[in-house]
Amino acid sequence: MALKSVSTLVLDGLAIFEFGVICEVFGIDRSADGVPNFDFKVCGPEPGKPLRTSVGATITPDHGLDDLVGADLVAIPAIGGSEYLPEALAAVRAAAESGSIILTVCSGAFVAGAAGLLDGRPCTTHWMHADDLARQYPTAKVDRNVLFVDDGNLITSAGTAAGIDACLHLVRREMGSEVTNKIARRMVVPPQRDGGQRQYIDQPIPVRCSERFAPQLDWILGNLDRPHTVATLAARAHMSARTFARRFVEETGRTPMQWVTDQRVLYARTLLEETDLDVDRIAERSGFGTATLLRHHFRRIIGVTPSDYRRRFACAPTESDDSEMATA
């Protein structure tokens, strides 16, 4: 179907940026660029009554909750708090039941969850809130690694700017690439980003280990460039390989070699951000040995290639990035 009508829900605690993303994609007249206009409505509990936002400003909806029902798309931005108006949740449920696509941005997924729309369904939210979403809605299948999840009539996005990805994906799905590219060009954003939100997640080393075992982890971190096996690590800890492997899982939640690989990737990530070392040298210093092996594990864990990651997060690109881009 072609999207024609879009209604967005606003409540007290509205997050301005996430709301702005929805307005930017669906609420602006771009007919001069050949983009069809949407029948765009901002809907709140009481038309004409100002609502508080998360930044100390107010916003006044022109339409009531009834205008959610029957819209082709109901978009839910991030809304603070954990208690939502029952009549707002009822309107979201009624919209879904009447055939509306429901799209959430960032913590807007919690509103969809409170309306009963996440039960048994794949979804996502900002990585900082993913564990809370999974706890509150235990039957939901929460994926904390992706930018958005498309489950047909339910689309959920990760944090903040990932809402742009989800909105443009929906436009592409329903209206084609030409319309999507025109909107993206006006917004000065890529029509589609690679990778997931794994590349934005801070992944510190595990801290839940005993004082007796902590020195083993510290030594590994200081010697990531050396070759390691369960047998060599166990010998250094004066344990059998079987006992060491069992204790390691108990202490870290990961097998020894999984943990070593994770830490090597995290160290490589730091080197990509903070140095101009080429990928071959980073592979050596992080213990992967070859750039090919580094790329394999880096993409598996972080979600993008080392060169893509460096372009996004390093202070300045290097010549080595160009050579890797040509061979990646």
Neighbouring residues of 3: CB distance < 8 A, sequence distance ≥ 6: 26, 38, 72, 73, 101, 170, 171, 174, 175
**CATH 3.40.50.880 region(s) of the chain?**
5-198
Question: Order of strands across the sheet with 148-150?
Answer: 39-43, 5-9, 73-76, 101-104, 154-157, 148-150
Rounded average pLDDT over 172-192: 81
> Roughly what angle, to the nearest 10 degrees, separates helices 291-302 and 306-313?
60
H or E segment at 180?
helix 177-187
Rounded average pLDDT over 28-35: 93
Give residue-wise pLDDT tens across range 272-285: 888 899 999 999 99
Give residue-wise pLDDT tens across range 257-312: 999 998 899 889 889 888 899 999 999 999 999 999 999 999 888 888 999 888 87
> Roughly what angle, to the nearest 10 degrees, separates helices 177-187 and 16-26?
130
> What is residue 32's predicted lDDT score, i.e. its pLDDT?
93
H or E segment at 250?
helix 241-252
Structure tokens at 183: 């909107």
Pairing relation of β-strands 101-104 and 154-157? Answer: parallel
Neighbouring residues of 112: CB distance < 8 A, sequence distance ≥ 6: 76, 92, 102, 104, 118, 123, 154, 156
* Average predicted confidence (pLDDT) for the chain: 88
Q: Quick one: fold of 5-198?
A: Rossmann fold (3.40.50)
Q: Helix, strand, or coil here: 23?
A: helix
The domain 214-327 is placed in CATH, from the list 3.50.50.60, 1.10.1530.10, 1.10.10.60, 3.40.720.10, at: 1.10.10.60
Separation of alpha carbons 309 and 311, rounded Å: 5
**CATH 1.10.10.60 region(s) of the chain?**
214-327
